[in-house]
Amino acid sequence: MKSYKIIIADDHKMFLDGLLSILKGKPEYTIILTANTGKNIAKYLDINNADEPVDLVITDVNMPDMNGIELNKHIKTYHKKVKTLVVSMLHDAQTIQTLTQDQVDGYVPKNAEKEELLKAIESILNGDKYFSQSIKDVYLKGMFSNEQNLMNSLSKREREVLKLIAQELTTQEIADELFLSKHTIESYRKNLISKLEVRNLAGLTKYAIKMGLVED
- For 114-126, the pLDDT digits (tens) are 999 999 999 999 9
Mean pLDDT score, 182-187: 92
Centroid of chain to Cα 155:
29
Q: Is the pTM of this model over 0.75?
A: no
State how far the alpha carbon of 78 is from the alpha carbons of 31, 32, 38, 71, in Å.
21, 19, 14, 11
Q: How much is the pLDDT for 215?
A: 62
Separation between Cα atoms, residue 72 and residue 84, nearest integer Å: 7
Q: Residue 107: what are its φ and ψ, rounded to 5°?
A: -155, 120
User: Where does the chain hold its CATH 3.40.50.2300 domain(s)?
Assistant: 4-143
CATH of domain 4-143: 3.40.50.2300
Q: For residue 108, what is the DSSP state? A: E
User: Where does the chain hold its CATH 1.10.10.10 domain(s)?
Assistant: 154-210
The secondary structure element, H or E, covering residue 86 is strand 83-88
The predicted-structure confidence for 22-54, as pLDDT tens digits, reads as follows 998 899 999 999 999 999 999 999 999 999 999
Looking at the chain, the whole-number percentage of residues with pLDDT higher than 70 is: 94
Report the helix count and the strand count for the chain, using DSSP H and E. 10, 6
109 bridge partner residues: 88
154-210: which CATH architecture?
Orthogonal Bundle (1.10)
